[in-house]
Amino acid sequence: MLNIAVFASGRGSNFQSIIDSIKAGEIPAEIKILVSDTQTAGALKRAEREDIENIYINPDHFETKKDYEEELLSILEGVNTDLVVLAGYMRILSPLFVKHFKNRIVNIHPSLLPAFRGLDAQKQALDYGVKHSGCTVHFVDQGMDTGPIIMQAVVPVKQDDSADDLAARILKEEHRIYPESIKLIAEDKITIEGRKVKILKEEN
């Protein structure tokens, strides 16, 4: 059984999709804790409703980022965390934190990486004029949205799309591939070789 800690800053819809997949018996895992850096995050309310331990930690209460992350690491170790899942967590983790959980932190990004990294990926895609965009689940490394790719999904970009329209279409795919990716990790079906993530195929 995989012990998961989720970090979220916002409404937590990807968090909910993972909860639902675990409850449906699709992922052999347990969410041990939800951590948020935003006191009003919808993810905290979702955790309350699902009876999942949750905590708000204000980064501004710490003198340095190192102090803040040491508190996070202490919490994660306290619940025997195997995998850190970033679900709309709007802070960049330090190289020290990433090294501590090497290949054990995953994130989802609303573009087909390596295209359109960072903030406002949907607007970046529209401004560039691409015909297709999508989302990417990847392991977190020490760069920004640069880690090995686990899974991607493609969505069409329509001529009259706003950034919100495209974001909504991408979000549906996020809710599908994020739980699928975590399921593969929980079932120990993933290996990493350099930049490439290999998925073990079922034996017939």
- Reading the block at residue 40, the tokens are 């009003």
Q: Please tell me what DSSP assigns to residue 22.
A: H
Distance CA 61, CA 59 (A): 5
Q: Which residues are catalytic?
A: 109
Say which amino acid occupies 202.
E
Secondary structure E strands in 122-179: 132-139, 149-156
Where residue 51 falls (left for φ over 0; alpha for ψ -120 to 50; beta otherwise) is: left
Distance CA 109, CA 5 (A): 18
